[in-house]
Structures are given as structure tokens and as C-alpha cells.
Homo-oligomer: A and B are copies of this chain.
Amino acid sequence: MEEINLGTTCDMHVHVRDGEMCELITPTIKEGGISVAYIMPNLQPPVTTLDRVIAYKSELEKIAPETTFLMSFYLSSELTPELIHKAASVGAIQGVKCYPAGVTTNSSSGVDPNDFTAFYPIFKAMEEEGLVLNLHGEKPSVTNNSSNQEDIHVLNAEECFLPALKKLNNDFPNLKIVLEHCTTEAAVNTIKEINKNVTDSKDVKVAATITAHHLFLTIDDWAGNPINFCKPVAKLPKDKKALIEAATSGKPYFFFGSDSAPHPLSNKAKHVGVCAGVYSQLFAVPYLAEIFDEYQSLPKLKGFVSEFGFNFYDVKPESLKSTKELILYRKEQSIPEVITNDKSIIVAPFQAGSKLNWSIKWSS
């Protein structure tokens, strides 16, 4: 039987929420084939203090003791350079997530992406500490009545954000930055352009994560199927092709971040106000295998899902909660319609009801 050892797998963009949802979802990180998970801070209220991030990590480790958690702060005016230095010195966080206000789930405390300068002291502290700045790279939608200003909408929101990414890289050339869940050919090209002189993966300062679901979806898939609605929205076929090309390219500045974002099914099956997010954690690696297999790129999967993220975040082997490695093997499995904890929370996984050609197990 064909087996592929993927090593220490990393998902560098994970939402596990809190409370009952957290108890249901956190174990599925490992079940989906992921060893190291970088946890998003968009709880309500957002995670912005040392006490909270330590308590959150401790809670997650209790639920999933074999998963290695990397933690993050939520960029807001509550952060200070002193707090950044302190959190870094005790190893409490690996990065800070920046949400433009109002673009996705629990982003109302986010920042104005048209002017990051208020946060430059924070970024300077992060640069000094080697922390990662995680960017939700979308401008908020705006329709202009004058014709000399560009309208911003869900389709071009990411492309309109790219100049801000380039400016940040220019102003903080040693700050590690991730353009999270990139969805467009334009974003892929910008990341390639920024890295055009990079010859050693240790020199990568600006990377992008790519989700599993954006390798499958285009606009037609979420039009009429709210379960596939997420932010950034899946774009056009040409964009999906560019993402697949990037993910399978073997370039160290493209690595996996699932942006698995569970919502109760009742918040997806609505006629107004559907929550943005695709829950993909339970089959994270098998989804990827499906695409990499289809594009004859399985040998490139280990770099994308293990090595590149691991190296970018400078994960210390001694910090791993488990040294088991992930083994991918060809065996069909079915995706259930929902997962649930005794019915108080019901979540529908990405591609519910479909079949996958690949299964996973952990090395002993």
C-alpha cells in the first residue's frame, strides 16, 4: 500500500473558538492530520492580554494534549510594545493577527487597513522579537459615487489590500508577515514578486497561507451554497488555478493554513446574515491530498503542509507535544453530513456527504 510520510504537519491558521464549540472542534485538529496548529485570537472579546492567551493555550492543551499550539494576539489598540516584548519573552505568542474592521467573523474590534501607522510601534516590537504579523488581507467594501475612485467589493477586496502589504514589507523589511488565506492570482503574484530574490527558505519574510477549501471552490460554489461562504470569498477559476499552482509549487513562501472556521449549522442555514467560514479541520490533510494527487503533486505536499510553515514560524522541535509523524495512505473515506456533541452543537464539514480518496494515520 502506498504510504507517504508527511512528517510534522502544520496548520498555520486555525479557529477553535471557545466553550462547547472549542471542546468539539479542538480534538479534530489531530483527527484531521495536523500536529502543530496556529490558533486565531478572534474570540469575543478578542485575545489581547497575556493572562488570556496563556489560559486559552492551557485550555486547548487539556483538550488535545498531543497537539502543539502556537498562539496569537488580536491586533488592537489594547496592545503595547511592552506587552509584545513580555509575551514574546515568555513564549506566550508566536504572532499577532490583524483583522480589518468589519470584514469577517468577530472582526468588529479590527483596525483600519488604510492606515497602519498607529500600530508601527507594535510592528517594530514584533520585528525585534521575530514574531509573525498575520494579515487578513482585505479592504472593507465601499462603493463610491464619484467615478475616479475605485469601488471595493468582496471580489477585489484582497487585490486592493496588496499595496498595504507591500508597504508594510517595505517599512519593516525584517518583520515576518503572512498574507492569510490568499485567494487571488493577484495575491499569488505579489507574494512571488516580493520573494523573487529569495534563494534560501530562511530568508523568507513575507509568506502566504492557502486554505484547503480555496483549492476546491470558485464563486459558483458559494453562490447558493452558504456552507461554502467564507471570507475572503472564493474567487474565479483563474484564481483557483493560481492557488493550486502556488500550493503545489514547492516554494517555501506558500504553506498551509486551513482557516477552518466552524459555525453552528443554524448560522449557516439562514436566509440573511450567514456566518462566513468553512469548517475543514476534520479532514484537513485528506482534502489537500485530493488536490495534490489530482495535480500529480503529492511529492510537494510535505513541504506545503509541514516543512515550510514549520520553518517560517521557527518551531522548536523540543516544543512539540508529540513527535508522531503523519502517514498518508490511499483509502476511501466518507465525509459525514455533520459532526455534533450530543446535539447541542452541530457543524457541517466542508464537502459533507462526499468521498475522499485518502486517509491518514499517525506513526507510532
Contacts and interface: CB of A to CB of B under 8 A. Distances in A.
Interface residues of A, number: 32
What copy number does this chain have within its complex? 2
B274 A224 contact: yes
A153 B222 contact: no
Given A153-B236, A236-B155, A238-B151, A220 B141 contact: yes
A100 B80 CA distance: 58
A273 B224 contact: yes
A276 B237 contact: no
A24 interface: no
A344 interface: no
Contacts of A225: 271-274
Contacts of A220: 141, 153-154
A27 to B, nearest CB: 23
A268 interface: yes
Nearest to A269: B271
A304 to B, nearest CB: 21
A325 B321 CA distance: 77
A227 B141 contact: no
Contacts of A143: 218, 237
Interface of A: 141, 143-144, 151, 153-155, 218-220, 222-227, 229, 233, 236-238, 265, 268-276, 348
6 contacts: A151-B236, A151-B237, A154-B223, A223-B233, A227-B271, A269-B269
